[in-house]
Amino acid sequence: MLSDGFHDVPAGKLAMVVTYLEMTSAPPLCERTLPEGVEFVQVTPTLAWYRDVFSRVGARDWLWYGRLKLSDAELGAILADPDIAFFTLRRDGVDEALLELDFREGGACELAYFGVTSALIGTGSGRYLMNEAISRAFARDITRFHVHTCTLDSAQALAFYVRSGFSPYRRAVEVDDDPRQTGLLPPDIAAAIPVI
């Protein structure tokens, strides 16, 4: 348990506050349409496809790196798991979103990864993608749909999840190596998060 007050974070490390959210039934959805030239597609991902889309959606601005730490065999096992579903939004032939629904826990679905690239931010595509996530999660026999986000993610992420019907239920502090200092990610990305 952390005591009240400030706690130093060692050089080369990141500290983030993680908020866990859940919903136990599907909320009413406001219908959204995709912009012209954008289509919703289920994907059978390859390692190269997944790493590319994962990086373009989350690594440059938000320091998504968890899946980049995995070996080919570890990531390949996730991508091949029949209880995990992958979707994207394709714009003019380019995949510009990642939606990953993980049904491996009985009676539940984790919104494992969710986001759009900068090419779709502000187009309403994120809301469309979330509607698909909620609909597809609750089309299965589940009683819980859950997600977590952290303070490294987009400043709009937490409020977006709450507006989508998720309720916060837990908070934690995570400390990990800064992936820009381990060589996992380039040192010049995520300028809003200083390297120390």
Output b/e per residue, 161-172; b: 16+ Cβ within 10 A: beebbbeeeeee
pLDDT at 30: 86
The type of residue at 139 is A
Helix spans in the chain (H):
47-54, 60-62, 72-80, 125-138, 157-163, 179-182
**In a domain? residue 189:** no
pTM value is 0.95
pLDDT at 99: 98
**In a domain? residue 27:** yes
Q: How far apart are CA 190 and CA 19, in angstroms?
A: 20
Which of 70, 94, 75, 97 is closest to 86 using CA atoms?
A: 97
At 83-114, the pLDDT tens digits run: 999 999 999 999 999 999 999 999 999 999 99
Q: What residue numbers bound the domain in which 150 lies? A: 22-174
**In a domain? residue 39:** yes
Residues of the chain under the 50 pLDDT cut: none
pLDDT at 2: 86
Looking up residue 124, the CATH number of its domain turns out to be 3.40.630.30
Element (H, E) at 168: strand 167-177
Q: Taking phi first (over 0 means left), then psi (-120 to 50 degrees means alpha), and beta for anything else, what does residue 107 get? A: left
